Amino acid sequence: MHWLWTLIVGGVIGAIAGAITSKGKSMGIIFNIIAGLVGSSIGQALLGSWGPQLAGMALIPSIIGAVILVAVVSFFLGKK
C-alpha cells in the first residue's frame, strides 16, 4: 500500500511541477509520476528533508526538485 501512496504523491508533485513550468498539458500521467519521484530525490538531495512530509517525501524540496527536473528536460527535449 505504501508504494501506491508513493506513486500517487509522486504524480501530484509532478503535476504541480508541470503547472508551475507551464508544461503540464504536454506531460502524461506516467511522466508526471516519474518527474515527481525523480524530482523528489533531486530536491531532497540538494535541499534536505525539511517541511511537511507525505509518503516519505518532503513536499517543498520535492516540488522544487521536480520543477528543476521538468525545466531541464523540457529545455533539452523541447520542440523547436
- pLDDT per residue rounded down to tens, the chain (80 residues): 778 888 888 888 888 888 888 765 667 778 888 888 888 888 888 888 888 887 778 888 988 998 888 888 878 876 55
Which positions ≥6 away from 57 have C-beta within 8 Å? Answer: 6, 9, 10, 13, 40, 44
Taking a C-beta distance cutoff of 8 angstroms, is the pair 60, 11 a contact?
no
Element (H, E) at 58: strand 57-58
- What's the pLDDT at 8? 85
What are the domain boundaries of the chain? 2-78
- What's the pLDDT at 25? 62
- Residue 49's CB is within 10 A of a number of other CB atoms, namely 14
